[in-house]
Amino acid sequence: MEAHLLKFVERVQCLSENGDGDAIASEYARIRQQNGSMKEVYGLTAETGGTKENLKKNRYKDILPYDQTRVLLGPILPDYSSDYINANFIKGATQNKTYIATQGPLSYTVGDFWRMIWQYNIQVIVMACKEIEMGKKKCEVYWGSLVEPSTFGPFTVSTVEESCPDEEVIVRTLAVKYGDESRCVSQLQYTAWPDHGIPCVPDGILGMMELANIRQASHTAPMLIHCSAGCGRTGVICAIDYINDLLHEKKIGDGFNIMDIVLELRRQRPSAVQTKEQYEFVFHTVAQIFEKALSKSSPSHQNKTKFLDSPSLYSNVVPPKPALRSASIGSSNPDLKTRKPPVLRPRSSHPPPSSKMNDTYAVVNKTKQPPTPRTVHHYDNLDLESQKNPQDALYSTVKPKNRAAGTAPVYNRALPVNQRGSMPSLEAEHSGYEPLPAEFRPRNSQLQPSPTQALSDGHSSSDDDYEYVTSPIRDGSSSSYCSPGGLGFKCRIKKPKGPRDPPAEWNRPER
């Protein structure tokens, strides 16, 4: 079997070195061409998912489960009597291995989702998406929090434990209660799969599936795998785990072909491995699995494999820790993490930024700029005397529209700030504004009344009978509808103007 593994790895590496990625892409094109004829040959239909009562249960109208392999639900309550859910059975590589590929549940199908888990005694759930991606909801939250449980129809779900073995995977232990019976279900969520893309490296997925198989152990219940639509990412994970089981069962022979495996998956679940990039990702991931298996073989096999002396399969692998770099690459059992960065990597719509100077085509030396002076931020609750904005402040004072040049804004009439950030003089402050009445002034204000106000106060105190909504400008310009303090209509401070007559005490000649 080692010869077949080596043959596949050398093929993938040869495609990478020659830059011939079209060979894998052409295989995927043939898969799409055979998709239509495969439906006719096997008589695949999707009539149940297209009925009027079931259409609303599909997240995507063009991804409907095949009738021949769809999951049937048993009735448990009058409200849950329908047997339909957008899910299909997929046969595994071994006799006791089965997958359920399904879409991420909707808000009104979460009850059916847990009904399927309970009916088929699911032990492990693999979630290949996040709840929200690119601002769109991809999957409904179907588990409870660590604080309190959540109820989905007749099921109560609590999160007993939650951990992150690495930055890409979240592992939850869920307690599901139905009636008087309770069960434990393991959920593994992969969070580093970009929407409309592929992961940068397969290490996280391989680690997650290894943990999922440990949790599955010898249970014969199906392993539930879902993403948003339950076809693209779900199909990739099923294909990788399927081939990994073939490797453990030593069933990788001369006729090993990823194309045939993907076609078999698509015969059971529509659009499994949905894009060309996902198909390429399966190739590169399988090559890494085979390379790791060969590295664990005897030294005689390692000496025959020239790929062990060449760069590894991925150029975007995270560099190893300094303690591991000192390990000998030419040792009899080299660790994959201590090898040189690989040259072959999957094409991703979200490529990671390169951190190696070898990938840099040109380096431009720029003169060092003088350090930027530290910006002092000012807050309203600080000492007013210390709020002196620097000349190069990061934020300039917002100037309201339709204001005379050089006029201070009206947001803080007692202590306005000019455009440069410095405090204006008292004369500049009162040059264009009506003074505030005593009850509307700030308590700590030390402003002196203007001569106009002093004269008015000397004759009468009737100005205090007015409600000062805003401080108008004396230049005669009316307040804009959208200006700060504007009310959407003309507002006069002295004598009110409107359809109703003013009070009698207001009918006095203006001085």
User: Annotated catalytic sites, by residue?
Assistant: 227
Helix or strand run (H / E) with residue 99 = strand 98-102
Cβ neighbours, 10 Å, residue 5: 23
SS3 state at 250: coil
* Residues listed for the chain: 511
Angle at alpha carbon of residue 206, lines to 251 and 289, rounded to 5°: 45
Cβ neighbours, 10 Å, residue 169: 20
Q: How far apart are CA 329 and CA 336, in angstroms?
A: 9
DSSP codes joined into one string, 380-413: TTS-GGG----TT-SSPPPPPSS--TTPPPSSSS
The residues pairing with 89 across neighbouring beta strands, listed in sequence order, are 100
Phi, psi for residue 359 in degrees, rounded to 5: -90, 0
Token couple for 95: 């006799």
Exposure class string for 68-87: b at 16+ Cβ within 10 A, else e: ebbbebeebeeebeeebbbb
